[in-house]
Structures are given as structure tokens and as C-alpha cells.
Amino acid sequence: MNVDFVAEAIATLHQKDRPQHDTYHLSSGIGSQTFREITKALAAAAEQASARCLCRWRASVYGIGEFLANRKGAIAKGASLMKVFMPYLTWNTVFDNTRVTAELGKKPVPFSEYGYPLMKFSSGNNFEYNYRPWPATAGGTAA
């Protein structure tokens, strides 16, 4: 789920005098997209053929990803990302987000709507975020 939804949920829930629950799952819930939906949307945005699920060879894919992630260079960065995201693509696990969506009155944006721009931003910046210094106040010190 996108960081905007997470940030809003955390800020909103922490400012409530009496939240309705003591536990909230910040997830896409039953609105989570499938591997096919995600890859189809990414392929359409990139104007490429859609990826195919290698579910039958899941163990091999995980092993290759683990091997490549422990190397150096761009391939290792991409493999590290896959190590993070592969479970979400291959496991059939959904965390109920009913509590948080009820409290906020809205649902998170589907990954297919922001995934490709996020990928372009990440790869265009070598998977690093170019931080900017915090702006100084009129007195010359950071806020």
C-alpha cells in the first residue's frame, strides 16, 4: 500500500482520543491485487508484454533471487527488491483492513495506479533518494 495512506492512517489514528480498536492492519485488505493484475498494469504502463507467473518454479526463483541479491551492482539491487516483493506476489495472504478503512472513510490506492511511476522514479534515481538539506529558518538554523 502507498505511503500516503499509511502516513494519513498513522497520523489520524494517533490523534484520536479514543480509537475504536487497539490494532489496525495497514494493508490493501481484500482489495489486494493479484500477481496477474499487477503485472498486467505494469506492462500496460510500460507498453510491454505482460510478465508470466513462474509459480511452478517458485523455489528456484527464490533461490536465484537470494543468490543474486548477495552480489554487488545493479542486479543485486533488483534481486533485493524481488526478495522483498516476491512473497506478496506469490503468497495468498491478505490482512483485513476493514478497521482502518472504516475509521478513515476511504480505501488505499491500488498498486497498479502508482507502481509504474514509482518504479520509474526508483530506477531513474539508481534506487536511492536524493535527500535535500532541511531549509534553514530566518535565524539561520534548521527548524
**130 CB-near residues (< 8 Å, 6+ apart):** none
Of the two residues 52 and 142, the one the predictor is more confident about is 52
pTM value is 0.64
How far, in Å, CA of 76 to CA of 4, rounded? 28
pLDDT per residue as tens digits for the range 96-123: 999 999 999 999 999 899 989 988 988 8
pLDDT per residue as tens digits for the range 57-110: 666 767 777 788 888 888 888 788 777 777 766 777 788 999 999 999 999 999
How far, in Å, CA of 131 to CA of 57, rounded? 39
Bridge partners (DSSP) listed for residue 136: 142
Query: Domain extents for the chain?
Result: 1-32+94-128, 36-93
- Residue 32: which pLDDT band, with cuts at 50, 70 and 90? confident
Alpha-helical regions (H) of 47-110: 58-69, 74-90, 98-104
